[in-house]
Amino acid sequence: MFHRAGGVTNRRMVRAGNRWGKSEAGCAEDVSWLLGERLFYPKNDPARTAGIPRHGVKLLTITTDWDKVSEIWTGPEGKVWKFLPMAYVVSKKTNHSGAIDQIHIDYKGRKSVWRFDTVKSFKANPMGQESSDWDAVHIDEPCPEQQFKGVARGLVDRQGHAWFTLTPLNEAWINDYFFPEDTGGEEISSRWSITGTIFDNPHLSQDAISEFEALLTEEEKQCRMYGLPLHLAGLIYKQFDKNRHVLKEVPEGWKSFGEPPVDWPIYIWIDVHPQTPHAVNFFTVSPHGQVMQFLDIFEHCSIAALCLRIRSVVGSRTVVAARVDPLAYINDPVTMLNMATEFHRCGVHVQKATKALAEGILKTQECLAKENYFYITPLCRTTLWEIQRYCWDEKGDKPVDKDDHCMENLYRCMLHGIRWVDFKEHESQIVNDIEIVGPGWENDETVDVTEELQKVY
């Protein structure tokens, strides 16, 4: 399947557990491109040459370091010589480490060049491959995103191909690259992938597999045994299921995913930062008590500009509560003002949110586990991206402090609790201890910042 897919797509990935045979499959494809045909297919099979240029090629294979290049690839017992007959090798070159890093091949007059590079070399010299062009690139171990971007630039002129064969121990961007739909993006049909497990290898005994499995943590098993990205194994919200929680169609009575009915209550949670982007999560509750996050904002801007965005989303709807990170209440030592004051000045009447992270995570896990309770629209791109990466740190006692802005808002919302409010039945502005902070804010007498922002932007 992997080799045949080269005829229909220029981006492929084998994502598999240890001992699956990933590198062998990748090496066989490398040699096939260098020779111009997949010799393991019959001559009358279209897959024998599908996707491979008729002319000689320049091919780059990237692995971990030069020791691995020698041990696994180009050394006397390396994979290269299992697939590439020495009769077609014109010359070999070695580098400063004594490893073969270049092989020149002539197959029936078709001249090709095979180059090797490593992740370790890139980290020492990020610009090392920037000026090169390639017909194909093979990523045999997870590499930094910037390294792939650099070599992918060299694929443009030749309309080149790239294939990945790896156990996803790190570099989460690779999973995003092949599965953008996992985080709210659009599925890219031109990218092909297959996931394999250690159990797919018929040459391994069950006893040997069990002995290896006994060495692994539960998280490592998911990656090394089943080929699932390691960063997903330590997920905090494993209860989240995009097939169950992400709305596929606009709910009845909504104008769009971002426009719930005007008589439904709106709840807003805001995570502010002086230097990094602010995050805003918008929630509503259905008459049946279902919690729905319908939009998020993730933007670096002034508080005034953020308020303008928030008010445009709210429109004429009634905001039951808008809560902000306690950071917003810390006074500037010179002006003695704070971000909460600026929110109020610009017409977004905020209250202080909780900082009870541990309790909030437990509550969110509970809410996600409930049937028919929490839903999220595809417009919540940042939330969807974060929730599928929000992991415990190495000690496992707290989340990794990175890419968690919408997650902060989510746990605060779930912990504080939100519910349906029927405004037609309540004339008072205080409903069951819930403070209603304003019917839409659109007629608020606070300062109009639109003209002020036009001067800035």
Phi-psi region for residue 256, left (φ > 0), alpha (ψ -120 to 50) or beta? beta
Contact at 8 Å (CB) between 294 and 415?
no
Number of compact structural domains in the chain: 2
271 lies in the same domain as 208: no
C-alpha 359/C-alpha 356 separation (Å) is 6
- Whether 6 and 152 map to the same domain: the answer is yes
Is the same domain home to 9 and 53? yes
Q: Are residues 214 and 320 in the same domain?
A: no
Q: What is the DSSP letter of 332?
A: P
Ordered strands of the 191-196 beta sheet: 89-94, 100-107, 110-118, 58-63, 136-139, 161-166, 11-16, 191-196
Domain assignment present for residue 437? The answer is no
Q: Are the C-beta atoms of 23 and 29 separated by less than 8 Å?
A: no
pLDDT of residue 397: 77
Nearest to 409 by CA among 321, 305, 281: 281
CA distance to 61, 103, 248, 404, 457, per residue, from 88 (Å): 19, 10, 54, 53, 63
Predicted local confidence at residue 333, as pLDDT: 87
Q: Where residue 76 sits, what CATH number does that domain have?
A: 3.40.50.300
Does 264 lie in the same domain as 176?
no
pLDDT at 234: 76
- Give the burial class of 189: count Cβ atoms within 10 A of its Cβ; 0-12 exposed, 13-18 middle, 19 or more buried: exposed
Instruction: Give CA–CA dist 423/167, Å, rounded.
Output: 54
CA 341/CA 337 separation, integer angstroms: 7
Q: What is the pLDDT of residues 22-67, one digit of tens each?
A: 999 999 999 999 999 999 999 999 999 999 999 999 999 999 999 9
User: What range does the domain containing 5 cover?
Assistant: 1-180+193-234
Cα–Cα distance measured from residue 409 to residue 315, given in angstroms and rounded to the nearest whole number: 21
Instruction: Note whether residue 63 is domain-resident.
Output: yes
- On whether residue 156 sits in a domain, the answer given is yes
In a domain, 275, yes or no: yes
The answer to the question of residue 288 being in a domain is: yes
Helix (H) or strand (E) holding 266: strand 266-271
CATH code of the domain covering residue 322: 3.30.420.280
According to the model, what pLDDT value does residue 170 have? Answer: 82
Predicted pLDDT at 83: 96
Indicate whether 402 belongs to any domain.
yes
Per-residue pLDDT, 150: 93
**In a shared domain, residues 41 and 153:** yes
34 and 114 share a domain?
A: yes
Residues 263 and 223 reside in one and the same domain: no
Q: Are 176 and 248 in the same domain?
A: no
DSSP code, position 264? S
**109 and 4 in a common domain:** yes
Asked if residue 86 and residue 45 are part of one domain, the reply reads yes
Residue 258 is predicted with a pLDDT of: 97
Note whether 363 and 411 are within 8 A (CB).
Answer: yes
pLDDT tens-digit readout, 140-157: 999 999 999 999 999 999
Same domain, 306 and 411: yes
109: left (phi over 0), alpha (psi -120 to 50) or beta: left
Q: How far apart are the C-alpha atoms of 73 and 149, rounded to whole Å?
A: 24
Which residues of the chain are under the pLDDT cut of 50? Answer: 428-436, 439, 445-447, 449-450, 452-457
